[in-house]
């Protein structure tokens, strides 16, 4: 089923669809790069020079505050051009053995085992 779905998204995507993709690192830039013209998971087939320019601005930002501003502008561009429609928060169930403590999930739902301990 997933193979058929991905084939359809690559060849003839519907006007509206939902497809989650994984980030290769927990940064705004990683999320934005997915929608660049040559990214293999750019299922919306976006090829927009203005957007590419905005992604480069995020990549070349010198400070965290510059990066945040540039990232916000790029995301707003995706939304105002109706390329990305926010669907709200998503919630996940997690099954964890009570014998382990010190694990956390960050804001991108990535597992952090830095302080993991077994009781």
Cα–Cα dist 105/7, whole Å: 32
* 106 pLDDT above the threshold of 80: no
Phi, psi of 46 (to 5 degrees): -70, 130
* pLDDT(47) > 80: yes
pTM above 0.85, yes or no: no
Which single residue is written with the structure tokens 């992604």? 55
pLDDT at 117 over 90: yes
What SS3 state is found at 118?
Answer: strand
Distance from C-alpha of 73 to C-alpha of 76, rounded to nearest angstrom: 5
What does DSSP say about strands 100-101 and 104-105: parallel, antiparallel, or unpaired? Answer: unpaired
Lowest mean pLDDT among 12-26, 40-54, 70-84: 12-26
Whole-angstrom Cα distance, residue 96 to residue 23?
23
Report the distance separating Cα 48 and Cα 32, nearest Å.
13
Q: With cut-offs at 50, 70 and 90, classify the pLDDT of residue 74.
A: very high
Percent of the chain clearing pLDDT 70 (strictly above): 92
């Amino acid at each position: 089923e997933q193979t058929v779905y991905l084939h359809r998204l690559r060849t003839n995507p519907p006007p509206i669809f939902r497809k989650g993709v994984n980030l290769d690192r927990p940064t705004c830039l990683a999320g934005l790069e997915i929608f660049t013209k040559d990214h293999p998971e750019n299922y919306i087939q976006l090829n927009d020079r203005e957007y590419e320019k905005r992604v480069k601005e995020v990549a070349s930002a010198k400070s965290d505050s510059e990066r945040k501003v540039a990232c916000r502008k790029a995301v707003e561009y995706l939304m105002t051009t109706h390329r990305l429609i926010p669907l709200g928060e998503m919630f996940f169930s997690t099954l964890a053995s009570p014998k382990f403590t010190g694990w956390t999930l960050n804001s991108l739902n990535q597992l952090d085992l830095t302080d993991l301990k077994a009781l």
